[in-house]
Structure 1
């Protein structure tokens, strides 16, 4: 598998990168940085340090992409991840530096020169992916598969009651991407809360490993632990990005999926970035009703994943 990870690296984004690096059948072709969780250049530093702590410094190029959303003012999540996105752990600067080429151009070049071979894991707001599509629409068909962590499956969001963070930051980009014709799998915040919260026993096993990577995991997780304790009444280890990465690495983790029609609200005041997820009408119903959701499915939505197997994959990746 040849993979690009598009990321706003903070917290769980780093663990997703680790999973990809540790998977023997995955070649991580590039990491591209998008606006999102924390200040833009800090996200690049977090990706570069993650590569270094994993023993892959200098092996995977990192490219800077779009530093702000397409139309909106930037939004961050420093209150959740800490000012540096890594629980203010104070990690040193990595030796590797970002590449000169823009991330959007690199995405286009890689995909168009390798049609049907490249997959993208988009675990950030979708500004880079939407911009690449607007610049070169043929990437929608040339890309083997697009895996998106974003939105909700008709349930409560993590940023507003109606929206998940990645879609909320740049809803216009999300709307462009889900309607662009990519072969698309959507991993939502709804899935995270159902299948992407690490059991306490798994956290205890990670802490007990006492390896450089397990210590990295525990250090990076401290701010999210505190924030989730405030929000949910107990500290949670939530993994939207690394669960999505685990599903693309090992598709058997996906226990239930549905082919759905997905769209994104860009106009609503209270429903900014709401992701509408519905089962398309049958051709017979569509002929009768002629409603907007008579269109065919545009995404495979993951409804349920194997939490225990996901935990084992993450623990295995942190053993070295």
Structure 2
């Protein structure tokens, strides 16, 4: 049994990732912690709660976390994911309500409860995780593995030429988490762009499914699909940065190539805020602190996604 905790700024593909964690056989989702990022905290909370309800899974606790970055003003991605973060679907509120416990406390408590077993899927700005490490510096010793969707391996970003969104929103948090001593795997944006985009022809089987989950998936991703088609070089398809990472956490055969490197994040540069430095040349003389995914198996991911949505 794999035990996950997902830290999310729930919008678009975060929802698909949550469905993997909620519904995949052999996975126990112990909790969902929510942070501001793609959308405001109250929106991300509602989106997570509604996803749990749609999944048909018995109640999974959802914990509210940081409503802003540690030191910065919040930058959102409403223009990508829609005003509600769910493709402008305007779903009703779920019956389940958020827990009273703060996400930072939930992260620490869940790691205590499942010490040595818990894997954290971090698919958002890393504010909650950084605050948890500041509260409990020994947290990394109890987490089996930390998966981070963030940064870009010496490649083009997706919010600025230099930076990927999650690291850009809260670079200080990303630096704290990368330096905290977790057993970390980073899934960078460039890999997601190469191996995690499904084009319209590749999405054809899902378009034909007409299941509850396939229709939900298409609804929550429609704004991002339109954004990709019209504003990101005309890519007629859906990006899956978070869900391909969760697929990797479920089945590591989705990872085709990986290497350990020293990774750090630029916090001071006016042009390079959030830039992720991956020392592939090993010129800094610093010990590797993360495993970086270099290539993913797109075909296997596509099969897993179809299996998830066909029920």
Name the CA shift for 1:229/1:223 in 2 (closer, same or farther; >3 Å).
same
Q: Which residue is 2:128 aligned to? A: 128
Distance 1:240 1:75 in 2: 19
Equivalent residue runs for 1:64-213 within 5 Å: 64-213=64-213
Distance 1:233 1:9 in 2: 25
Residue 198 of structure 2: SS of its match in structure 1? coil
Q: Which residue is 2:34 aligned to? A: 33
Which stretch of the first structure deviates more once superposed, 119-128 or 212-221? 212-221
Deviation of residue 177 (structure 1)? 0.6
Q: Which residue is 1:303 aligned to? A: 294
Equivalent residue runs for 1:246-261 within 5 Å: 246-261=247-262
Can you list the C-alpha shifts for 1:263-304, whole angstroms capped at 9, x where unaligned? Answer: 0000000000100001364xxxxxxxxx6x211110000000
Name the CA shift for 1:150/1:274 in 2 (closer, same or farther; >3 Å).
same
Distance 2:267 2:204 in 1: 41
Q: Which residue is 1:13 aligned to? A: 14
CA contact (8 A) 1:164 1:273 kept: yes
Distance 1:217 1:144 in 2: 30
CA contact (8 A) 1:35 1:68 kept: yes
CA contact (8 A) 2:199 2:235 kept: no
CA contact (8 A) 1:280 1:294 kept: no
- Larger CA Rg, structure 1 vs 2: 1
Name the CA shift for 1:280/1:177 in 2 (closer, same or farther; >3 Å).
farther
Deviation of residue 234 (structure 1)? 3.3
Deviation of residue 89 (structure 1)? 0.7
Distance 2:38 2:23 in 1: 24
Can you list the C-alpha shifts for 1:126-180, whole angstroms capped at 9, x where unaligned? Answer: 0000000000000011110000000000000000000000000000000001111
Distance 1:268 1:14 in 2: 32
Q: TM-score, normalised by structure 1?
A: 0.95
Deviation of residue 117 (structure 1)? 1.1
Matched, 1:317 2:308: yes
Distance 1:109 1:226 in 2: 40
Residue 232 of structure 1: SS of its match in structure 2? coil
Residue 172 of structure 2: SS of its match in structure 1? helix
Equivalent residue runs for 1:282-297 within 5 Å: 293-297=284-288
Q: Which residue is 1:286 aligned to? A: none
Q: RMSD in angstroms over aligned alpha carbons?
A: 1.1
Deviation of residue 90 (structure 1)? 1.5
Distance 2:4 2:90 in 1: 29
Deviation of residue 118 (structure 1)? 0.7
Deviation of residue 112 (structure 1)? 2.3
Residue 32 of structure 1: SS of its match in structure 2? strand
Q: Which residue is 1:44 aligned to? A: 45
Matched, 1:270 2:271: yes
Distance 2:182 2:60 in 1: 25
Residue 259 of structure 1: SS of its match in structure 2? strand
Unaligned runs of 5+ in 1: 282-290
Q: Which residue is 1:217 aligned to? A: 217
Distance 1:66 1:21 in 2: 23
